[in-house]
Amino acid sequence: MAQLQTRRGFLEVCATSVVGAVGMLTLAACGGAATATTEMTTSTAAQVTASQATAASSSAATSAASSVAKATVGTATAAVSATTPAASSQAPKTTGQAVSISVLHQDWQPLTNMLKQAVTTFKTQQPQVTVTLVPVAYGDLATKVKTEMAAGTGPEVLHSYSDFWRAVDASAVFLPLTPELFSRDELAKITYPTLLDSVPSKRKEVYLLPYADGLNGDALLYNPAMLTKAGVDPKGFKTIDDIIAAGAKLTVSQGGAITTEGIWFSDTQDPVRNWILDQGATFYDVQAHQWTWQTSAAEQAMQKVVDVYKQGTSWVTMPAGVKQPLGEGRAAMEMGAGFYELSGDATSYPHLELADMPMPSFVPGKTPHYFQTAISGWALSALLKAGDEKTKAGVDFLRFLYTPGEAMALATQYSGAIFIQGVYNSPAFKSSTFGALRTNLPDQVIANTLTMDMAVEPGFGSQMGKVIAGTMTIQAALADMQQQYSSKETEARKQMTSS
């Protein structure tokens, strides 16, 4: 079966689920074929074999959720050009007395290097504050928070991922950033408003401040040399069908077998989610917390993936020895890529000159939607209190991290999205490695990026794989997803209510 991967934004790893209240957190590892793509991790990325799941809901719920998504995208677009505001009067700086704080973060070299630099610079501005970095492997981040909080100790500032806390009330883990520490309006100008509610909570406040993401499933990554040789101009791609038609032209076969894929579908799940939203429908009702998979829009989105395989431009079964077709010169284009991949592939495959572009809308001429199952961000420990000196120091350090100047240390190494207003307008960024390619990222992609506070997101790689192989119909796959997602969501919501 073809590699069907769920690519995490800031980091490509096995899918992780954390279930229950803080005292009941469990991490679930997932297996699959490894890929050579390098991202925010210390090991090779792994293919996700997603678990099955789904839910039952009405067409009315579909319409309501779609309206919410459209309204949110409009708000984000208006905020893209906003400048970084001055410090809020609601969160004054420390009084000048000596205070020490710890910062728990993912142990990924570019991030660690950036933080070391930030700590040094921050010390010159606030010498009374001592900041200690606590690097932790990705897979141990959630467990570390759980263990430390259970002991009543631990770092004050936390780097985390939104999907770690799907079935957990965020207020049990994080201190609310609004309204005492920041106003929501201020955070919408520091970062992007559509991403502020990425973790579920009984209190509708902001708990995780969006920081960075690879924007999985949102990009078309391609080999310019292969496209030029075949007379294909990617600037002419206005629809999904344009890409599929080009894929047929770019496919090379010998003896009836594909030797070079026109399209490598590295991720079939994220595009399906995006294409459902593009049609004005949804897969999740954010008001009723219900999944809505059995829709005409979902059928059409899945069918488009099947069309790619049916026309013979992609391997249904990957040939032995092939791990990353694009990097290995065995594919001309990668549909459903992440924007982070340029920086990773530049390291893994330095001999290749690759380029990318945003995926067009499923509906020709309409604004595309880019849904992210998880984003990385920063938070404050729930053990803190709003008026404490440690809390004030943590707030000041977060404000410092979210200045365009400090973000540049990461942006110059990472081709994914940096969710900090002002970064992409910075002259230093425009002249950096990825600056010329990312100038329009805020307006074209980030402004149309959505998260939802669902309590579960098990993935549907298993069902999608069977549909592509022809052993399950699209309707049967969606029915299976509907039942399993709904069951898991109901269970998770009960846990959140009782915790």
pLDDT tens-digit map of 104-129: 999 998 899 999 999 999 999 999 99
Give the C-alpha separation, 494 to 290, whole Å: 13
Which residue in 92, 91, 99 sits closest to 128, CA to CA? 99
Q: For residues 4 and 464, is the Cβ–Cβ distance under 8 A?
A: yes
Give the per-residue pLDDT at 200: 85
Res. 21: pLDDT tops 70: no
pLDDT greater at residue 206 or residue 41: 206
Cβ count within 10 A of residue 471: 9
Give the per-residue pLDDT at 396: 96
Give the per-residue pLDDT at 56: 33
Query: For residue range 28-84, what is the model confidence (pLDDT) as tens digits?
Result: 323 333 333 333 333 323 333 333 333 333 333 333 334 334 333 333 333 333 333
Percent of the chain residues past pLDDT 70, beyond the cut: 81
Interhelix angle 389-401/109-125, nearest 10 degrees: 120
Res. 358: pLDDT tops 90: yes
Alpha-helix runs per DSSP H in 47-194: 59-79, 109-125, 141-150, 184-190
Which residue in 412, 444, 448, 414 sits closest to 341, CA to CA? 414
Report residue 302: phi and psi, to 5°: -65, -40
Provide the pLDDT confidence category of residue 339 given band limits of 50, 70 and 90: very high
Provide the pLDDT confidence category of residue 209 given band limits of 50, 70 and 90: very high
Give the per-residue pLDDT at 253: 94
Query: For residue range 388-400, what is the model confidence (pLDDT) as tens digits?
Result: 999 999 999 999 9
Q: Which of 365-369, 376-380, 423-427, 482-486 has the lowest mean pLDDT?
A: 423-427
Give the per-residue pLDDT at 94: 60
Task: Determine whether 369 is exposed, middle or buried from the number of CB atoms within 10 Å of its CB (0-12, 13-18, 19+).
Answer: buried
pLDDT greater at residue 86 or residue 333: 333
Query: For residue range 368-381, what is the model confidence (pLDDT) as tens digits?
Result: 999 999 999 999 99
Q: What's the rounded mean pLDDT across residues 13-23? A: 34
Would you tell me which CATH number, out of the four given (3.40.50.300, 3.60.15.10, 3.40.190.10, 3.30.70.20), belongs to the domain 59-74+217-371? Answer: 3.40.190.10
Res. 320: pLDDT tops 90: yes
Give the C-alpha separation, 485 to 308, whole Å: 26
Give the per-residue pLDDT at 149: 86
Res. 333: pLDDT tops 90: yes
Q: For residues 394 and 180, is the Cβ–Cβ distance under 8 A?
A: no
Q: What's the rounded mean pLDDT across residues 214-236? A: 96
Provide the pLDDT confidence category of residue 432 given band limits of 50, 70 and 90: confident
Give the per-residue pLDDT at 123: 96
Interhelix angle 389-401/404-411, nearest 10 degrees: 60
The residues of the chain that CATH labels 3.40.190.10 are 59-74+217-371, 87-215+374-450
Res. 90: pLDDT tops 60: no
Which residue in 339, 319, 341 sits closest to 330, CA to CA? 319
| Residue range 87-215+374-450, CATH number | 3.40.190.10
